[in-house]
Amino acid sequence: MIARLVLAAGIVVAAAVFAFQGGEYSVLEWLELERDERTETARIVQLEREIDSLADLARRVESDPETQERIAREQHGMLKPGEHAFILEEPDDRQP
């Protein structure tokens, strides 16, 4: 009688361990996959925002005269007719 109870308890314990750790993915692996999925989903949302921001910038560069002028001035040093550019240099402290 005791042997049957020990055998039954062993089978129940083995089934519980297999249910927790066995199969294609263990519970711990499944939890890790869930965490990875949340991380990747957050990264996708971040990338979608970045894509939207870049698409908006591309639209403004193509069609907004103020954006085009700002880029021309800042990145290419262009001036309007009649404007003068002043280049300020830092003094060289090494000279006597």
Residue 46 within a domain = yes
Evaluate if pTM is beyond 0.75: no
**Helix or strand run (H / E) with residue 35:** helix 27-63
Tokens representing 70 are 């700002």
Residue 1 within a domain = no
Residue 93 within a domain = no
| Domain of residue 43, residue span | 7-76
Rounded-to-integer distance, Cα 96 and Cα 83, Å: 36
pLDDT tier for residue 16 given thresholds of 50, 70 and 90: confident
Tokens representing 84 are 């003068």
What digits encode the pLDDT tens for the residues 26-49? 778 889 999 999 999 999 999 999
Residue 43 within a domain = yes
Total domains, the chain: 1
